[in-house]
């Protein structure tokens, strides 16, 4: 039975009323510990498990083993059709060379698409790591072309971006405004301290061509994985 992305997380349909159009590029932002990787990986594994499709999760921050350990600790299981690619070996073996990681990531995507015709989902964890180890020259153009490439390939893409904005000023730094402008959607994850202690939330700030709620909803993690509960006021 096929599954829509909006039904991959328990309660996600409370905030996402239509299906995300294929080929959308979605930013998933938030401070550390807000479950960005867990949310994206969970959506992808559940989608892949129910549909006869493939996905590619590229991690620059961790190697495959530590990423999977992390996901297992959240109750999220590995799925055969979701391929995880890390840069550990490449970066260690080519330590003395400068790698253009955006171009290399595009080649990695092409290689997996060659192998798996029905590669439909892509995630990059994270854009911050990509920036920190890339040459910054002409980055705006590179990012623009990268986003266009993902759309042209009809890959529904999740780009994870750590952002300190939600805790401090409520404003995105200038460096990161370009991604928000270019992306088709922005999902923000964060934490709110209230009477009952600290709660995690999810909020869809933007999702082109898709009806969605604007409120912050509570995000919890239980034995059955990630759940989205009611609005937080």
User: Which residue number, 85 or 144, has a Cβ lying nearer to another protein?
Assistant: 85
Min CB(163)–another protein separation in Å: 27
Min CB(164)–another protein separation in Å: 31
Min CB(65)–another protein separation in Å: 12
User: Which residue number, 97 or 171, has a Cβ lying nearer to another protein?
Assistant: 97
Min CB(137)–another protein separation in Å: 19
Secondary structure of residue 177 in the 3-state scheme: helix
User: Which residue number, 77 or 167, has a Cβ lying nearer to another protein?
Assistant: 77
Establish whether the linkage from the previous residue to 105 is cis, with ω within 30° of 0. Answer: no
- Cα–Cα nearest to 207, from 68, 10, 79, 24: 24
R_g over Cα of the chain: 17
SS (H, E, C) 38-96: HHHHHHHHHHHHHCCCEEEEEECCCCHHHHHHHHHHCCCCCCCCEEEEECHHHHHHCCC
Site for another protein in 54-113 (CB under 8 A): 83, 85, 89-90, 92-95, 99, 103-108, 110-112
Output the six-digit token pair for 128.
């911050």
- The strand pairing partners of 204, in sequence order, are 187
User: Which residue number, 45 or 105, has a Cβ lying nearer to another protein?
Assistant: 105
User: Which residue number, 63 or 70, has a Cβ lying nearer to another protein?
Assistant: 63
Strand order in the sheet with 156-162: 82-86, 54-59, 119-125, 156-162, 25-30, 185-194, 197-207, 217-222, 225-231
How many residues bind another protein (CB under 8 A)? The answer is 19
Applying CB under 8 A, among 115, 136, 140, 167 the residue interacting with another protein is: 115
Min CB(112)–another protein separation in Å: 6
Min CB(96)–another protein separation in Å: 10
Contacts with another protein by CB under 8 A lie at 83, 85, 89-90, 92-95, 99, 103-108, 110-112, 115
């Amino acid at each position: 039975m096929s599954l829509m992305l909006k039904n991959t997380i328990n309660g996600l349909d409370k905030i996402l009323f239509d299906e995300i159009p294929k080929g959308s590029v979605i930013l998933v932002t938030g401070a550390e510990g807000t479950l960005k990787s867990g949310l994206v990986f969970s959506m992808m594994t559940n989608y892949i498990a129910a549909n006869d499709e493939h996905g590619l999760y590229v991690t620059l921050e961790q190697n495959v083993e530590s990423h999977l350990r992390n996901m297992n600790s959240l109750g999220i299981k590995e799925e055969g059709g979701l391929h995880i690619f890390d840069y550990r070996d490449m970066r260690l073996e080519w330590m003395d060379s400068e790698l253009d990681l955006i171009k290399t990531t595009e080649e990695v995507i092409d290689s997996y698409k060659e192998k798996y015709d029905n590669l439909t989902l892509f995630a990059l964890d994270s854009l911050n790591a990509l920036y920190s180890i890339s040459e910054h020259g002409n980055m705006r153009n590179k990012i623009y072309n990268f986003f266009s490439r993902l759309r042209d390939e009809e890959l529904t893409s999740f780009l994870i971006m750590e952002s300190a904005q939600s805790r401090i000023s409520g404003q995105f730094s200038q460096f990161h405004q370009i991604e928000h402008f270019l992306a088709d959607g922005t999902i923000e994850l964060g934490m709110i301290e209230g009477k009952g202690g600290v709660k995690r939330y999810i909020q869809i700030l933007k999702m082109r061509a898709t009806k969605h709620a604007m409120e912050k909803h509570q995000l919890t993690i239980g034995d059955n994985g990630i759940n989205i509960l009611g609005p937080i006021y």
